[in-house]
Chains A and B, each alone.
Chain A
């Protein structure tokens, strides 16, 4: 009897669940709150972000803090430095702001330190090492900038919150930052040695790197271990550590591959090909599936992490697939798709059990950064 009741009730609970995600629209200076009820996604609220009238400030990265009380948006453009703005999830009103570096982009908050780690992408600057800003979200103080590589992108914490990972798109490196010591711990060259990366003038780049580091806090640096700068063939754009294994996956946007990194041995353990231009990657919280946007093809790919088998490749609703947020129950992937020109951005919701696109909703132009907020009954 009880068994039967449970069987009957489970679908009812499932039906009554709502999923919420925030998505940033980079060319509209808006953030949309998306509500998905398991069948249909709607834009529940569109929030204007930015502070300068005639300028597009470019909200790029977005994250929700572990408590779910606040969300944070990075504004890529400023005068010239971008900024980080903290919003309340209760009111969707800005509560604090701080200046970061050039083109602040992706970010995440460590569950152990409580700090927010945001890469300064410096997308349009010179090809020289940029950095990761570390912010105390309580006081919204940028504590320090940690120099990494050229065009750092993707910022994800290890499950224990002790290490932050990012990749340098132009120098083709994976960086591991000690989240407590706030310094670079390890650097891994992601180039496939079978390929021939274009070497830049190592002397010049290293001098730039030195200058940059001297300008930052005089802490122990990884100077000696940083290789000469090069124009990466891999062009890594994202890194995601596995939730319960010592493995990370990197999107090789230039080499059309996913690179598996053994974090214990700190070496590339595997590479597998993707469609053209993989951009963001996320892993389901249960650790079973890897989801990746294939930006140049406007598609989303899903792999089984046990055997690296591509389970599905799903066409997104519009072109230029960008970010991924996965629901806490590993059931749905929320995919932001930019669109082109005056087209609206789109959030596609993919069912991770049927591998079908189940709903789409229009948001502001150039939908990019996306973060899962909560699931509630």
Chain B
């Protein structure tokens, strides 16, 4: 009788065991398909005895998923059980075999063949080729599906991404060219030579005319150099090449390089030299700057001294918020000519605080508003000091939007209007410019509202970049140009009244864009250098490499990218401010000085005067800094600076854990009397 009960249990055990030991077999394994080919795989399972089992059902899918950044690689018709090849390459397909109420899965490698190469064209610059110089070459490949790809280097990741079975050879028709193991081509003798390449059985060639290198002498001089060169100062070099007769030769590409030695034997020289002759030294030391062409070269030696811009930065006052996290802030002059500030709160109860900061050493909390929200991430005040607008996220009715507040009497602020149309997805950041407010919507776009009558705001325009998966984090408006920061899509410069592209608030027109590889563009501040007249978009990252912990110390990363936008068509990323071990957040620039909240790195004040090139932190451009964590902070002793604003000579900041604070940069050099560097 007992056995009657045992048998089903045993059977269940055996079934489970059997199911666990089965493996999926499929002719998908190492399958090769041509583009457009539809294939119905044969898939079944076997146990460890080799016994074959049919799958009651099989489902196939592409392992990188439906949202793969590589685009659609295959199409699956699951009713018919077929796969259609779309994108060439080496792919993984998962097959799930269902049977007896269980499923087992296995991944198979499937190759979708690249189309055959139809033609190959060797590309090189139009410049004259001289002996003893390398020839820059790239290749234009057209395949049988008329897809054209430009490849800079063979056997690089880039090439392998597009082509499999890379059968490539490159040779010279004679000994006038030398080709090394990395396929670089060096002109060694004058005359004519033909470069021959074979790719996937398709041949191509290009004849090169090589001139004898008659450069006998190079003249190297400084175009612009301060009398005393400091770290971070950009030196401009100019070199000209001459033949034996003293004739200048113009069609040569002179190469610039440098070596150096630090004054401090514990340090190493470093800097950057560009091929247009600009040089910057990061570390005090002796640098040898060289211009060369072929075997001719000329050098200049310069000493680079410490920049010596450090100043004493002192904390002046603070307004404590230590029962919740603080977000953004804004300092403004009230209509009574006194000075005030507003701060938001994060992940809390929807409160925004108002402060009297007229005496920065005695900051007083004077009023607050509480709205239906969990986070008031951004706060801004109109230039006339009459209207504050705060953003809402996490409203209980999920309508979020913005709240318009009358701050004519900051001691008794009054909510004028809740505005939610098209902003229900949450407003993370906003900006007020004249009679318009620019409010982000659901992190995807921004709406432009007319708030001339703050009781009756109305929408006049909207801007979105119009890409699948578009994402925006911030918008800042200056001189009729809106600078939106769009994570991986970088900064977009949009004419909202400047006139440069015929845009208006009701008809915003984009006219500039710059992206960078990290895809972490979180904020942008326009910066016209007072000392050079150059125009930069300073683009900031926000990166948490190990995720976030709102209840403890965080690791932060990312930096500020200085992008020279002097030529709107060709923005160039030219410098960066990166604080080792700490990441960037919000910042302010005034009079060629950067005030930046570096999260865990505190408030940093950086000299960005003069031409900018390379690593600004390494160049000793930092004027000073403060750390803002306090023992009574929401998270004690945890510096987490949100942002900074220079206002009437004081550096205001907000800290995630402590509230609002003020610092002052003095004219004095840092006081090192407490530094224990000489302690034995």
Contact status A77-B443, CB under 8 Å: yes
A220 to B80, CA, bound (A): 10
A125 to B445, CA, bound (A): 11
A26: chain B residues at CB < 8 Å are 394
A54 to B550, CA, bound (A): 9
Contact status A50-B398, CB under 8 Å: no
Q: Smallest Cβ distance from A26 to chain B, in angstroms?
A: 7
- Interface presence of B487 (CB below 8 A): yes
B348: chain A residues at CB < 8 Å are 342
Contact pick for A54, options B61, B542, B547, B549, CB 8 Å: B542
Contact status A52-B544, CB under 8 Å: yes
Contact status B425-A124, CB under 8 Å: yes
Contact status A56-B347, CB under 8 Å: yes
Tell me whether A81 and B77 are in contact in the complex, defined as CB-CB below 8 angstroms, given that A139-B63, A340-B372 are known contacts. no
Contact status A144-B61, CB under 8 Å: yes
Binary interface profile of A, 124-141, with partner B (CB < 8 Å = 1, else 0)?
110000000100101101
Residues facing A in B450-468 (CB within 8 A) are 468
Contact status A53-B396, CB under 8 Å: no
Contact status A141-B94, CB under 8 Å: yes
A341: chain B residues at CB < 8 Å are 349-350, 370-374, 396
- Interface presence of B433 (CB below 8 A): no
Contact status A80-B544, CB under 8 Å: no
Binary interface profile of A, 334-362, with partner B (CB < 8 Å = 1, else 0)?
00001111100000000000000000000
B529: chain A residues at CB < 8 Å are none
B64: chain A residues at CB < 8 Å are 141
Contact status A28-B374, CB under 8 Å: yes
Contact status B425-A123, CB under 8 Å: yes
- Interface presence of A98 (CB below 8 A): yes
Contact status B444-A141, CB under 8 Å: no
Question: Which of chain B's residues has its CB closest to A138's CB?
Answer: B105
A114 to B79, CA, bound (A): 18
Contact status A53-B551, CB under 8 Å: no
- Interface presence of B442 (CB below 8 A): yes
Contact status A56-B375, CB under 8 Å: yes
- Interface presence of B101 (CB below 8 A): yes
- Interface presence of A145 (CB below 8 A): yes
Question: Which of chain A's residues has its CB closest to B599's CB?
Answer: A53
Question: Which of chain B's residues has its CB closest to A46's CB?
Answer: B551
A123: chain B residues at CB < 8 Å are 398, 424-425
- Interface presence of A223 (CB below 8 A): no
A338: chain B residues at CB < 8 Å are 396
Binary interface profile of B, 318-354, with partner A (CB < 8 Å = 1, else 0)?
0000000001000000000000000000111111000
Contact status B374-A56, CB under 8 Å: yes
Q: Smallest Cβ distance from B641 to chain A, in angstroms?
A: 12
A29 to B468, CA, bound (A): 26
A48 to B550, CA, bound (A): 8
Tell me whether A125 and B78 are in contact in the complex, defined as CB-CB below 8 angstroms, given that A56-B374, A142-B65 are known contacts. no
- Interface presence of B471 (CB below 8 A): yes
Contact status A181-B78, CB under 8 Å: yes
B375: chain A residues at CB < 8 Å are 27, 56
A113 to B103, CA, bound (A): 7
Main secondary structure of the interface of B (DSSP, over half): loop
Contact status A141-B396, CB under 8 Å: no
Contact status A48-B549, CB under 8 Å: yes
A341 to B376, CA, bound (A): 11
- Count chain A CB atoms within 10 A of each CB in B67, B98, B348, B444 and give the residue with the most: B67
Q: Smallest Cβ distance from B80 to chain A, in angstroms?
A: 9
Contact status B79-A181, CB under 8 Å: yes
Residues facing B in A64-116 (CB within 8 A) are 77-81, 98-100, 112-114
Contact status A54-B377, CB under 8 Å: yes
- Interface presence of A183 (CB below 8 A): yes
Contact status A29-B550, CB under 8 Å: yes
Tell me whether A320 and B65 are in contact in the complex, defined as CB-CB below 8 angstroms, given that A54-B346, A144-B76, A182-B78 are known contacts. no
- Interface presence of A51 (CB below 8 A): yes
Contact status A51-B65, CB under 8 Å: no
A78: chain B residues at CB < 8 Å are 471
- Interface presence of A14 (CB below 8 A): no
Contact status B374-A27, CB under 8 Å: yes
Tell me whether A80 and B374 are in contact in the complex, defined as CB-CB below 8 angstroms, given that A136-B96, A143-B65 are known contacts. no
A138: chain B residues at CB < 8 Å are 105
- Interface presence of B470 (CB below 8 A): yes
Q: Smallest Cβ distance from B61 to chain A, in angstroms?
A: 4
Residues facing A in B55-72 (CB within 8 A) are 57, 59, 61-67, 72
Q: Smallest Cβ distance from B36 to chain A, in angstroms?
A: 13
Contact status A342-B79, CB under 8 Å: no
Contact status A342-B61, CB under 8 Å: no
A92 to B3, CA, bound (A): 41
- Interface presence of A366 (CB below 8 A): yes
A367 to B471, CA, bound (A): 27
- Interface presence of A180 (CB below 8 A): yes
A182 to B66, CA, bound (A): 13
- Interface presence of B428 (CB below 8 A): yes
- Interface presence of B393 (CB below 8 A): yes
- Interface presence of B554 (CB below 8 A): yes
Contact pick for B79, options A113, A143, A219, A319, CB 8 Å: A219
Q: Smallest Cβ distance from A56 to chain B, in angstroms?
A: 5
A153: chain B residues at CB < 8 Å are none
Contact status B101-A219, CB under 8 Å: no
- Interface presence of B548 (CB below 8 A): yes
A98 to B550, CA, bound (A): 22
- Interface presence of A45 (CB below 8 A): no
Contact status A141-B65, CB under 8 Å: yes
Tell me whether A77 and B394 are in contact in the complex, defined as CB-CB below 8 angstroms, given that A54-B327, A136-B61 are known contacts. no
- Interface presence of A193 (CB below 8 A): no
Contact status A80-B442, CB under 8 Å: yes
Task: A141-B62, A365-B394 given; name 12 further pairs at CB < 8 Å.
Answer: A27-B347, A27-B394, A28-B347, A51-B548, A113-B103, A125-B444, A141-B64, A141-B94, A180-B57, A181-B78, A217-B72, A341-B372
- 24 A-B pairs (CB sep. < 8 Å): A51-B547, A53-B548, A53-B550, A54-B327, A54-B585, A56-B347, A56-B374, A56-B375, A58-B394, A80-B443, A123-B398, A123-B424, A124-B424, A125-B425, A136-B61, A139-B94, A143-B61, A180-B57, A217-B72, A217-B75, A219-B79, A220-B77, A341-B396, A342-B350
Which B residues have a C-beta under 8 Å from some C-beta of A? 57, 59, 61-67, 72, 75-79, 94, 96, 98, 101, 103, 105, 327, 346-351, 370-375, 377, 393-394, 396, 398, 424-426, 428, 441-444, 468-471, 487-488, 542, 544, 547-551, 554, 556, 585, 642
Shortest 7 CB-CB contacts between residues of A and residues of B: A342-B349, A124-B425, A27-B394, A27-B374, A143-B61, A340-B396, A124-B442
